[in-house]
Structure 1
Amino acid sequence: VAEAHDSLQKALKDHSKSVRCIAAEALGKYGDQQDVENAVDTLISLSDQKKEGVYVAMLALNGLDKLGSEKVARVQDQIAKLPLKNNQLDRRLQSYVPRLIERLQEQHKVD
């Protein structure tokens, strides 16, 4: 990641939301504290399924999950406010995001 650091930072502003999610996950896992903060901010901003769509939200929420409790702690309140339902989705897809949000809330509790 060190060799690709500048490219990953640039990718956080890419037009593709998927590219931003992947870059944020890499920087969040392997970057310095500032990279982690930027990564978490990027991922939480892409986690609303009503604004960003279910696939982007799933990618962003999975990215947050992979970063771990310590890194995700500061956005727990924002995670709790994410919409759980999107009735415009095919019924099959409606449970994916709520399960990820529930996992983030349960697995990454900060006591």
Structure 2
Amino acid sequence: MNAQLKADGRFWLTLDGRNFLGRGRVELLQHIRETGSISKAAKAMKMSYKAAWDAVDAMNVAWGVPLVASGPAGSRLTPDAEALVAAFRKAEARHAAFLEKLARELPGRTGRDAPATR
């Protein structure tokens, strides 16, 4: 059996030591951008409207200014949200590249209980 060690880890942007923006929240924001609706974004993600609204509200409160603006015409991302989504995507890609590089540097295993030889 050939087993390979793998580096793994989730990427989050934190704000004041608390998880602020992760893959799920970014996906929610992108669905809001595409649909113009928190409700439709929630449906697309198979989550309740309340869960989506709570996530949006938590992000808005934590950031201090709205990331999602809602009005009679629907919901839209603010410029701050657009910038955060772009920054998250760029940082997440760098994080994934780092994990791939790290995995290449980890030792492999040639058997179930045998460490790899150099």
Structure 1 length normalisation: TM-score? Answer: 0.28
Larger Rg: 2
Q: Which has the higher helix share?
A: 1
Higher relative contact order (CA 8 A, sep 6+): 2
Q: Which has the higher strand share?
A: 2
